[in-house]
Amino acid sequence: MKRYEQIPHTADIAIRVYGKDLKELFINAAYGMFDIIADLEGLKSSVSMDVNLKAPSKEE
C-alpha cells in the first residue's frame, strides 16, 4: 500500500494519506510532509523520539 499521494490544490500543496489504522495514518502523514520538503532518500535518522499523548477522545 502506498503511504500518500500528492493531489491538486489551487493555493498550496495537498496530500491524500493512507493507513490501516490511526497510528499508521499519522506516520504516513508525517512521512508525506517531510518527503515533500526534503529528499528523504538522502537523509539518515540520527535522533529518535517517542511521543505519547492523551486526550478524552481521538477528536480532541
Mean pLDDT in residue range 15-39: 92
Query: Confidence class of residue 29 from pLDDT cuts 50, 70 and 90?
Result: very high
List Cα–Cα distances, 53 to 34, 47, 57, in angstroms.
21, 19, 11
**Where exactly are the structural domains of the chain?**
4-40
Give 1-60 as a DSSP string: --SEEEE--SSS-EEEE--SSHHHHHHHHHHHHHHHHS-GGG-------------SSTT-
Mean pLDDT of the chain: 88
**pLDDT tens, position by position, 6-17:** 999 888 889 999
